[in-house]
Structures are given as C-alpha cells and as structure tokens.
Structure 1
C-alpha cells in the first residue's frame, strides 16, 4: 500500500530501498505518480499519499486542473473531517459555473480565475507559507500536496513551463518537510516522464496485476527500484 506503514513493510525486502524511503519521509519529498490505470486506482493511491486515515494530523492541499468531476468525487466524499485540515485549489475551471458551487462547508476552495501556472504556483506557495505559520512547526510529512493532474497543464503550457512549475512547488514542499505528489496518467516509459523525472525525488508507477492494483517505486533516477507491491 502507498501508506507510510505499508511502504515500510513492502520495502523491507531491500535495506537500501527502505533507508532511502525513510530519508524522503524525514526530509520532505516530491513524487511523480504515473500509470495507465482506472480512476478508482488513482483515487486510492492519492488518498494514501495524502495520509487519509493516519492518526497524525495532516495539512492537505489538493490542486485540481482536470474538471469538476475530480473535485466533487474527491472532496465531497473523502475529505470531510479527520485530523488536520484540507484545502482545495481549482484552476482551468473558470468557464464552469457549476464548478464554483460549494463542495463541502468544511473544505475551503481557492478558485483561480485564470489558467496561469504562475498563479497556481503562487497559490500553492502561499498556502504552504500560511499553513506553516498557522500550524508550525510542522512535523515531517505533516504537510501533503496533491496536484491532480499534470496532463492539462502540459497541454496548455508545454513541458518546459511545467518543469519549472514542478521544480518550484517541489522545493516549497521539501522546505516544509512535506510530501508533494503529482498525477500524470501516462505509461512510465513515455518521453515526458523521463523529461520531468529530474524535478522529483521518486517515481511511483501504478498498474494492475493478477491480484489487483499494484505499485512500483523508482528512486535515484532508476538506480533503486522496488518490486511490484500491492496497492
């Protein structure tokens, strides 16, 4: 599973891999999540990376770029309580009046007016700074960021701009000892994955095996790789 405890259990087969994961958890990290899998697999993986069900408080930010379906299914159903806080940012949705409607009274939504990577990056950085000031000092891994998804950003802004966006927001999350992850629904071996890989600390590949959904972690640019593990 992608949750912290299950990562340790799965990675326990390989000491080097386990130690590298512990370093990422302690020092802050950015993760690129890829794969051609059904919607519910993405949701399950994301929730666990966000620390859903953890006994420790998590300060969560979900930045949505891919339409109101993602917002309503994710926030209304899954992020309505628990320890810590949840905030959402919407972008690319300014043309949809229905997307502006309240999702849940406990989930504040920052609705960005324009499709601007600069504005999105600034909103994420501002939230991290505000959260650190309000809830700090933050524990390692307390701050969690999800960007769902990179595909629309690549379509609109291109790879170079998204590379810079990842570099900036990943650095902000690491500085707060947080964990950021970014969705990209493509095969691991596509060129864009290789091009964006230098901006993150690890790659998580999602797949479907004989026993159901599974994951594989790739660290250090491919030098350290886990076996397939259950999701």
Structure 2
C-alpha cells in the first residue's frame, strides 16, 4: 500500500512516503491509537512487523494476550519459534526466545517491578539481535508492544513515560522500528500526553461492516493522512 497521498493541515498535499523513508532510515517509535477490536490491532502489528520474505528481527512484547492473538500478530509464515523471533510474555507461558539465546539470564518474576522486568528483557533481546546481526541494518529490527493500556492501569503515568523513553531510545539506537498499542481515542488526554515521546501516530478505526482503516499523524512534518484501508 502506498501512503503517498497525504493531507497537510496547512500546505495541501505532501508526500508521506518521504517521511516514512526518513523514519525507516533513522529508526523510529510509533504510537498506535484507536478503540478497535483485537483482530484490527493484530492486523496492524502484522503489517508493521514487515514482509515475511525479507530478513527481519521481530521482538513482540505482550502485557496481556492469548496465544491465539500472539499468533495472529505474526506475519504469514513466521513462526514464534523462528530464530529471528523473540516473544515476551510476563506470565512466561507464551514466551519464545531463539535457541541460541538460551544462555541469557532472563529477569526473574520476583526481581523488581513488572515494568522494569519488561524493560530489562527488551534491552537483552535488542542487544542479542544486534550482536547476532553484527550490527542491525535500518528497519531490520521490528518491535511491538501490546498494549500500553495495561501498563497505565498498573503504574502511574510518570514511570510509564520513563519506560517509553527508554524503549524509544533503545529502538532508535539500532535504527529499528518500534510501535506501541494504546487502545484509546486519538484525541484522548492520555494520547496527547504521550504523543511527544513518539515520532508518529497511526490512528485505527473500524466502522460497523466496513473494512478497518488507518491514518497517520507525523507532527514533525505537519502531516495527517486521509483515512485509508488498513
């Protein structure tokens, strides 16, 4: 899908594709918003995790998800036990890490807060993939966190913001692409509070029997796209 058609709030039509190329080249953190069914967020994640036929390192962190939802988030043909997939599950039931990472000492359930354990494992996973690749290429690493809603319910806004800053810096540091789901309306106060921590937002919507849709917000370039099919 091309995202070239974009509606600029001040100057008419701009090229979103150029902005996306910049985000991919430099590394970025994206915020996914919108109150939509679980299968819509899974479809968005699947697309953002990249073409299954291209070499990608995929890191998925779930704060509250079923096994079925985890599988639905993976691109077609990509299995959770693949050597380039790392799945973080706070309960440990659905965790999956590459076999060559077995010697990494993962955070224990009684070590620090759940938010800190998640941060620690994200750091370990990104470091592992960077080492294996001997330096990741731009957009080679894809990171998904689903969802931020659970974190906000379990923690105050301040520690959640610190966590997001750390994750965003971690992903940008290896020129990866990371996205975080926050199933709230795009104009909600929480989204507005957290938005400056991200390079762009992808707003999702699902109206009755119509296909799920998306539109991008890239504040740095003053771009908001038209609604397009997800």
Change (3 A) 1:29 1:101: closer
Aligned to 2:116: 118
Paired position in structure 2 for 1:163: 161
Report deviation, 1:60: 0.6
TM-score (norm 1): 0.82
Report the Cα distance in structure 2 between the residues aligned to 1:112 and 1:145, rounded to whole angstroms. 22
1:104 CA drift (Å) = 10
CA contact (8 A) 1:58 1:84 kept: no
State the 1:75 CA deviation.
3.4
The question of 1:73 aligning with 2:69 is answered: yes
How many Å separate the matches in 1 of 2:175 and 2:97?
28
1:181 lines up with 2:179 in the alignment: yes
1:151-193 deviation line (CA, Å, top 9, x unaligned): 1100111211111111110111011010000011111111000
1:55 CA drift (Å): 2.4
Q: Distance in 2 between matches of 1:181 and 1:48?
A: 11
Greater Cα offset, 71-80 or 156-165: 71-80
Q: 1:111 to 1:72 in 2, by over 3 A?
A: farther
Query: What displacement does 1:223 show?
Result: 2.3
Paired position in structure 1 for 2:4: 11
TM-score w.r.t. length of structure 2? 0.82
Contact 1:56 1:83 in 2 (8 A): no
Per the alignment, residue 96 of structure 1 pairs with none
Q: In structure 1, how many angstroms separate the alpha carbons of the residues matched to 2:39 and 2:161? A: 27
User: What number of residue pairs does the alignment pair up?
Assistant: 215
List aligned pairs for 1:1-231, cutoff 5 A.
6=1, 9-12=2-5, 14-51=13-50, 53-67=51-65, 69=66, 71-75=67-71, 78=74, 79-80=78-79, 85-91=84-90, 93=91, 100=93, 113-114=109-110, 115-209=113-207, 211-220=210-219, 223-231=222-230
Gapped regions of structure 1 (runs ≥ 5): 1-5, 94-98
Please tell me whether the aligned partners of residues 100 and 111 of structure 1 are also in contact (alpha carbons under 8 angstroms). Answer: no
Give, in angstroms, the shift of residue 61 of structure 1.
0.7
Q: Could you list the runs of 5+ residues in structure 2 that have no partner in the other structure? A: 7-12
Backbone CA RMSD of aligned residues:
2.9
For the Cα contact (< 8 Å) 1:198–1:221, is it kept in 2?
no
Bigger helix share: 1
Q: What is the distance in 1 between the residues matched to 2:108 and 2:147? A: 15
